[in-house]
C-alpha cells in the first residue's frame, strides 16, 4: 500500500510540493506546503535555475503573465529530505507588484512532459489566489539562501563590519524594540484566543507545540502591521432533521455564534489596532447532497446568515470583523479563472457520488466537482484502508456512519429496512470523508498562512485549531431539561454546533441551553413545562419554556408554538416529528 493515510491520491494537489514567495533576485521569502522544508533545503539549486531566464510566459486575459520554469534537482543520497535524487520539477510563478515578489507553486513534472490543460489551469488558479505572503521578521525553519554564501562572501561581510561607521551600526539598533513589541502583541493575541475561543481536545497538544505554532502564525501578520487573518469553514445549513432544529433558517444559535466571533475580534482590536478578520467559508454546498438538503436551501441559508450578521451590528468595524465566502467564490471570484475554464475538464462521472437524491444547482455542482478534480483523494486507496482495517480511517468511518444513521431523516429513509439504512449511512459517511479531505487540501493551498479554525475537535498542535462558538458562561450543552444543571462530560471536548441543535431558554434561568429540538418538545409533552418555539425577530428563533410550578411573567405577548398532546404517540410516549420537507432520499448504491 502506498500510504497508510487517507490523504493520498493522483489529483493535481498530490503533485504539488508547496507554495513559495521569492524576491526578484531569488531570495526565498516564505514557503508553505507538504514539502516546505525540502523546498527550503534545495532552494539554492531551485533559485539558480529560476534565474537562468529560461521561463516561458503565458498571458492571462487580464494581462497578467504566468511564468513557467522546468527545474532539475539533484540531491545527495544522504539527504534526509523528502525530495529524492534527480527530481524533475516545474515552477509556476506570478509577480505581485504590491509586495515586490514572485509567488509560485512547485510541482512534480510529468514524466512524459504532457502538460494537461486542467493541471495548468488549476495551478495558475492556486498561484493567483493563494494568500501566501513574504514572511517578515521570522527565520525560515530550514536553511535559507543566505546560509549558502561562500566562505569568501562571509569573510568579506565580517571584514566590512570593522570599517562600518558607528552611526551606521547605531541606526540599526532601534529595530530590536520594534520586533520585541511585535512578539509581545502576538503573545497577547494568542492568550486572548486561548481564553475566549480555543476548545480543549481530549488529547490536546496546545501547550507542547500548538501554542507556539499559533503564535508564529499571528506574529507573521503583526510583523506586517496587518489584520490577523483567520479562516473558519462553518455555517453550512440547518440540519434537515426536525428532531434537532426548529427550522431551516438561522436562529438564536447562529446569532450567539456570530456574536462570539465578533466579540473575539473586538478584543483583538483593543490589543492591536489592525485587529483581526474571521473569514467564514460556507461549506454547506460541499455536503448538501450527502445530508439530504437541496442546493437552493443551502444558498438561502447562506444569504439569511449574512443578512442576520449585517442586522446585528451598526458599526463598520463590527461588520468587517467577519467576512463570508462561498465555495464558488474560491474558484470564480476572478475573471481570469472564469474566462479560461473549460467544462470538459470535469466530465468524469466518478468525481462525485451523490448518495442522497437532492436538487442540485449548476453552480454548486461545478464547485464540488472542481474540489474533487483538483484535490480529491484516490477512492480505491480509501477502500483498501477500510478493508485493511486501518485504525484511524476505520474509526472515523464507523463514527461518521453511526452519526449519519441517527442524523438522516425523511420518509424515503425511514421506510427503508434496518440493513438498507445502515448501507445508506455508510455510503454517505464514505462520500463525506472523501469530500472533506479534498476540501481541507484546497484550503491548505488557498489560505496557507491564515490561522485555520475548526468547529470540530482537534489536537490543537496546528495547523487547525478547534474553537467554541458558545461561551461557557452563556450557553450550556445539555441532553435533557431536567438534568440541565448537571455537567455532560462528553461536551467537554466536542461542542454541539448551531446547525445541528436549538437554543432553549427557561424562564428563571440566567443561562441558555443548547440541545436537540426534540428534547424541548419532550419536556413540554411530559407535562412539567409549558411553551414551545418562539420566532423572535430581535433575538432569533428559540424554544422558550416555563416550569408549570413557576408563574409566568405578565405582559409576555410572544407568539409561542405550543406542543400539544397530539404530538405524542399515546402508546410509546415518543414525540412524533413530522418529516422534513428538505429531505428526499433514494436507495443508495454500492459503498463508496
Structure confidence by residue, pLDDT tens digits, 333-352 = 888 988 999 999 999 989 99
Count of structural domains, the chain: 3
Do 353 and 403 fall into the same domain?
A: yes
For residue 82, CA distances in Å to 15, 17, 36 come to 13, 10, 10
CA–CA gap between residue 193 and residue 146 (Å, rounded): 35
Q: What are the strands of the beta sheet with 502-506, ordered from one edge?
A: 475-477, 512-515, 502-506, 542-547, 529-534, 560-562
Do 403 and 515 fall into the same domain?
A: no
Is the pLDDT at 85 greater than 80? The verdict is no
Do 233 and 293 fall into the same domain?
A: yes
Do 393 and 510 fall into the same domain?
A: no
The 3-class secondary structure across 164-211, one letter per residue, is: CCHHHHHHHCCHHHHHHHHHHHHHHHHHHHHHHCECCCCCCCHHHHHH
Lowest mean pLDDT among 32-41, 153-162, 222-231, 311-320: 153-162
DSSP 8-state symbol, 147: G
Looking at residue 394, what is its pLDDT?
94
Q: Which domain holds residue 103?
A: 12-151
Q: What does pLDDT average to over the chain?
A: 84
Do 459 and 496 fall into the same domain?
A: no
CA–CA gap between residue 586 and residue 424 (Å, rounded): 9
For the chain, the first-to-last Cα distance in angstroms comes to 19
Do 563 and 439 fall into the same domain?
A: no
Residue 411 lies inside a defined structural domain of this protein:
yes
Do 443 and 496 fall into the same domain?
A: no
Are 528 and 547 within 8 A, CB to CB?
A: yes
Looking at residue 175, what is its pLDDT?
41
Do 126 and 229 fall into the same domain?
A: no
Do 331 and 376 fall into the same domain?
A: yes
Residue of 296, 416, 422 whose CA lies nearest to 358: 296
CA–CA gap between residue 288 and residue 435 (Å, rounded): 11
Residue 104 lies inside a defined structural domain of this protein:
yes
Is the pLDDT at 93 greater than 60? The verdict is yes
Average pLDDT over residues 127-142: 78
Residue 380 lies inside a defined structural domain of this protein:
yes
Whether omega before 216 lies within 30 degrees of 0, making that bond cis, reads no
Is the pLDDT at 294 greater than 70? The verdict is yes
CA–CA gap between residue 185 and residue 219 (Å, rounded): 8
Residue 1 lies inside a defined structural domain of this protein:
no
CA–CA gap between residue 405 and residue 241 (Å, rounded): 12
Strand-strand pairing, 56-59 and 65-73? antiparallel
DSSP 8-state symbol, 479: S
- Residue with grid cell 504532457, as numbered in its chain: 114
DSSP 8-state symbol, 359: P
pLDDT digits (tens, 9 = 90+) for 301-334: 999 999 999 999 989 889 999 999 999 999 998 8
pLDDT digits (tens, 9 = 90+) for 490-520: 888 888 999 999 999 999 999 999 999 999 9
- Residue with grid cell 493551498, as numbered in its chain: 445
CATH number, domain containing residue 140: 3.30.450
Amino acid at each position: 500500500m502506498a500510504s497508510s493515510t487517507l490523504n493520498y491520491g493522483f489529483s493535481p494537489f498530490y503533485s504539488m510540493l508547496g507554495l513559495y514567495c521569492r524576491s526578484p533576485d531569488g531570495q526565498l521569502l516564505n514557503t508553505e506546503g507538504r514539502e516546505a522544508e525540502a523546498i527550503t533545503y534545495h532552494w539554492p539549486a531551485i533559485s539558480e535555475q529560476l534565474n537562468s531566464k529560461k521561463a516561458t510566459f503565458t498571458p492571462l486575459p487580464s494581462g497578467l503573465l504566468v511564468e513557467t520554469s522546468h527545474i532539475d534537482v539533484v540531491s545527495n543520497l544522504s539527504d534526509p529530505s523528502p525530495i529524492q535524487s534527480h527530481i524533475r520539477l516545474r515552477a509556476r510563478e506570478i509577480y505581485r507588484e504590491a509586495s515586490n515578489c514572485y509567488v509560485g507553486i512547485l510541482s512534480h513534472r510529468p514524466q512524459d512532459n504532457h502538460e494537461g490543460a486542467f493541471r495548468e489551469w488549476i495551478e495558475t488558479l492556486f498561484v493567483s489566489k493563494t494568500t501566501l505572503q513574504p514572511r517578515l521578521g521570522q527565520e525560515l525553519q530550514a536553511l535559507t539562501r543566505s546560509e549558502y554564501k561562500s566562505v569568501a562572501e562571509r569573510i568579506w561581510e565580517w571584514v566590512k563590519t570593522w570599517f562600518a561607521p558607528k552611526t551606521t551600526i547605531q541606526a540599526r539598533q532601534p529595530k530590536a524594540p520594534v520586533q520585541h513589541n511585535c512578539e509581545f502583541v502576538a503573545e497577547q493575541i494568542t492568550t486572548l484566543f486561548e481564553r475566549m475561543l480555543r476548545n480543549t481536545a481530549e488529547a490536546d497538544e496546545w501547550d507542547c507545540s500548538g501554542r507556539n505554532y499559533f503564535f508564529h502564525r499571528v506574529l507573521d501578520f503583526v510583523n506586517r502591521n496587518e489584520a490577523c487573518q483567520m479562516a473558519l469553514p462553518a455555517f453550512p445549513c440547518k440540519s434537515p432533521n426536525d428532531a434537532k432544529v426548529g427550522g431551516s433558517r438561522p436562529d438564536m444559535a447562529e446569532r450567539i455564534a456570530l456574536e462570539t466571533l465578533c466579540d473575539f475580534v473586538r478584543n483583538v482590536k483593543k490589543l492591536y489596532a489592525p485587529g483581526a478578520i474571521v473569514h467564514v467559508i460556507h461549506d454547506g454546498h460541499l455536503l448538501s447532497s450527502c445530508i439530504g438538503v437541496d442546493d437552493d436551501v443551502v444558498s438561502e441559508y447562506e444569504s439569511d446568515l449574512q443578512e442576520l450578521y449585517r442586522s446585528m451590528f451598526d458599526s463598520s468595524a463590527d461588520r468587517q470583523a467577519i467576512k463570508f465566502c462561498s465555495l464558488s467564490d474560491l474558484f470564480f471570484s476572478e475573471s481570469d479563472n472564469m474566462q479560461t475554464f473549460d467544462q470538459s475538464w470535469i466530465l468524469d462521472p466518478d468525481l462525485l457520488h451523490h448518495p442522497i437524491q437532492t436538487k442540485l444547482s449548476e453552480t454548486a455542482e461545478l464547485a464540488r466537482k472542481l474540489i474533487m478534480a483538483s484535490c480529491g483523494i484516490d477512492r480505491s486507496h480509501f477502500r483498501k484502508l477500510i478493508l485493511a482495517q486501518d485504525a484511524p480511517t476505520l474509526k472515523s468511518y464507523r463514527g461518521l456512519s453511526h452519526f449519519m444513521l441517527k442524523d438522516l431523516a425523511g420518509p424515503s429513509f425511514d421506510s427503508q429496512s434496518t440493513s438498507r439504512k445502515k448501507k445508506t449511512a455508510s455510503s454517505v459517511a464514505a462520500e463525506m470523508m472523501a469530500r472533506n479531505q479534498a476540501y481541507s487540501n484546497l484550503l491548505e493551498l488557498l489560505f496557507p498562512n491564515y490561522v485555520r479554525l475548526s468547529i470540530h475537535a482537534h489536537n490543537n498542535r496546528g495547523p487547525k485549531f478547534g474553537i467554541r462558538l458558545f461561551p461557557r458562561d452563556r450557553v450550556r450543552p445539555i441532553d435533557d431539561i431536567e438534568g440541565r444543571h448537571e455537567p455532560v462530560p462528553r461536551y467537554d471536548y466536542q461542542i454541539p454546533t448551531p446547525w445541528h441543535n436549538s437554543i432553549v431558554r427557561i424562564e428563571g434561568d440566567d443561562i441558555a441551553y443548547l440541545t436537540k429540538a426534540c428534547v424541548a418538545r419532550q419536556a413540554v409533552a411530559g407535562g412539567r413545562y409549558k411553551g414551545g418555539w418562539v420566532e423572535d425577530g430581535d433575538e432569533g428563533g428559540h424554544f422558550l419554556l416555563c416550569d408549570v410550578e413557576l408563574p409566568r411573567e405578565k405582559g409576555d405577548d410572544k407568539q409561542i408554538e405550543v406542543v400539544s398532546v397530539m404530538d405524542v404517540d399515546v402508546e410509546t410516549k415518543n414525540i412524533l416529528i413530522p418529516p422534513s420537507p428538505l429531505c428526499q432520499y433514494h436507495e443508495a448504491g454500492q459503498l463508496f
